[in-house]
Amino acid sequence: MLITDNSLVSLKPIQQSVQVTFNYDVHFTHGLFELDNPLLAEVIAGNGEITPKKVLAVVDAGLLKDHQGLVKKISNYARFYEDIINLIEQPIIIPGGELVKNNPKFVEQIHQLIDAGGICRHSYVLAIGGGAFLDMVGYAAATAHRGIRLLRVPTTVLAQNDSGVGVKNGINAFGKKNFIGTFAPPYAVLNDLDFLTSLDDRDWRSGIAEAVKVALIKDADFFHFIRIYAEELASRDMKFMENVIYRCAQLHLEHIANSGDPFEKGSSRPLDFGHWAAHKLEQITDYKLRHGEAVAIGIALDSTYAYLIGLLSQSEWQNILVTLKQLGFTLYLPALTEKLEQPNHPHNLFTGLTEFREHLGGKLTITLLQGIGQGIEVNQVDLSIYKQAVYMLRDWL
């Protein structure tokens, strides 16, 4: 509408709709950095752009204990494929584990390296490590130049079947898990299954908790598979673990793509079944508890509550707890009950419900089970029954 002497433009809202499609592949391989494995080079060269591409490689320090030659392997690989990969300097070593998300200096260090190396949006950050490490490096990559292409190489069970294949990045702040972060899909995920052979038993086991979680809310047959082969999984049978990782990753990716809310704009977060208590337990234990270990307890607690309110049968409830126990998980810690009768204490378990709601905003929405493979969302809970569930876990044999 043109402005004339006798009229003014009507300042009505301008409605805008932007649709964005994200595509990324999750690969499964062995010996990713062996010279005769071209997968990484092919992923970097795959879009037909001019190469070589600048790459900043960041390595989880915890890997070097069992993979002492890893840094040299990465450098040799880049040299072998130098027509595709321009490694801007030797791979950078940064501590891993949940504690790396508690100190913002590591994000700043990566930002400085990106700046100094002239890394741009057509370059790559190659992150090699566990889930917490990938969360932190992913956040740094997503916030430099509003987004550097991220190549994730998850090296733990939990990262390969869950956190490493998703769209979330983040660090901890104000005593809260993932308070600061982004939704930024990776450019690609490269799961090298050989890294799993060097995991200690706790890290091997921890990732299975996320598989149990997604099976319980989405796929009864998958839970049955885990239950039947729980002893083989606990005894580190790689054949069965590869199957679990693949199906778990598949279910996570299907949810992200088809849930209608990949960036969690609503109040619902089904894939965080068992996580409200898990996040609080990690905080209470000063992150000495592995994430997967905390998730197993959270699953056991929420399943017990679902049984008490009549959503689960006794046999279903028992199957869940027995399976978790067979996988090697401890289902009760004193931290669950130490401050349970002090509702205002920051270490009271149920403050985790408030923090869980605040993280998403809106009304409290948690996922419970109304059967194996059937998740259901609820918006209110009975704390007196949840207390009963906690004490039942303590006394359960």
Do 59 and 112 sit in the same domain of this protein?
yes
- Write down the pLDDT at residue 259: 75
Do 137 and 213 sit in the same domain of this protein?
no
Do 157 and 232 sit in the same domain of this protein?
no
- Write down the pLDDT at residue 51: 86
For residue 260, CA distances in Å to 43, 124, 257 come to 28, 29, 7
Do 228 and 135 sit in the same domain of this protein?
no
155, 173, 198 - which closes a domain: 198
- Write down the pLDDT at residue 109: 97
For residue 99, CA distances in Å to 57, 96, 136 come to 20, 7, 10
Do 189 and 228 sit in the same domain of this protein?
no
Do 153 and 273 sit in the same domain of this protein?
no
User: pLDDT means per 10 residues in the chain (397 residues)?
Assistant: 60 89 93 98 88 96 94 97 95 93 96 96 96 96 97 95 91 90 96 95 93 96 97 96 95 85 66 90 91 96 98 97 97 93 92 81 86 93 96 90
Do 193 and 311 sit in the same domain of this protein?
no
> In this structure, what token pair is assigned to residue 162?
């869950």
* Cα–Cα distance measured from residue 191 to residue 174, given in angstroms and rounded to the nearest whole number: 32
- Write down the pLDDT at residue 8: 60
198, 217, 238 - which closes a domain: 198
Task: Establish if 96 belongs to a structural domain.
Answer: yes
178, 198, 218 - which closes a domain: 198
CATH no. for residue 220? 1.20.1090.10
Do 132 and 227 sit in the same domain of this protein?
no
- What is the domain count for the chain? 2
> In this structure, what token pair is assigned to residue 1?
């509408």
Do 381 and 303 sit in the same domain of this protein?
yes
* Cα–Cα distance measured from residue 31 to residue 387, given in angstroms and rounded to the nearest whole number: 48
Task: Establish if 314 belongs to a structural domain.
Answer: yes
SS (H, E, C) the chain: CCCECCECCCCCCCCCCCCCCCCCEEEEECCCCCCCCCHHHHHHHCCCCCCCEEEEEEEEHHHHHCCCCHHHHHHHHHHHCCCCEEECCCCEEECCCHHHHCCCHHHHHHHHHHHHCCCCCCCEEEEEECHHHHHHHHHHHHHHHHCCEEEEEECCHHHHHCHHHCCEEEEEECCEEEEEEEECCCCEEEEEHHHHHHCCHHHHHHHHHHHHHHHHHHCHHHHHHHHHCHHHHHCCCHHHHHHHHHHHHHHHHHHHHHCCCCCCCCCCCHHHCCHHHHHHHHHHCCCCCCHHHHHHHHHHHHHHHHHHCCCCCHHHHHHHHHHHHHCCCCCCCHHHCCCCCCCCCCCCCCHHHHHHHHHHCCCCCEEEECCCCCEEEECCCCHHHHHHHHHHHHHCC
- Write down the pLDDT at residue 134: 97
Task: Establish if 259 belongs to a structural domain.
Answer: no
**End-to-end Cα spacing for the chain:** 75
Task: Establish if 258 belongs to a structural domain.
Answer: no
Do 103 and 239 sit in the same domain of this protein?
no
Do 42 and 137 sit in the same domain of this protein?
yes
Whole-structure pTM value: 0.87
Omega into 52 within 30° of 0, i.e. cis?
A: yes
* CA dihedral of residues 228, 231, 237, 243 (deg, nearest 10): 30
Task: Establish if 239 belongs to a structural domain.
Answer: yes
Task: Establish if 360 belongs to a structural domain.
Answer: yes
Do 212 and 151 sit in the same domain of this protein?
no
Task: Establish if 11 belongs to a structural domain.
Answer: no
Q: What range defines the domain where residue 236 resides?
A: 201-252+266-395
CATH no. for residue 88? 3.40.50.1970
Rg of the chain on CA atoms, in Å: 23
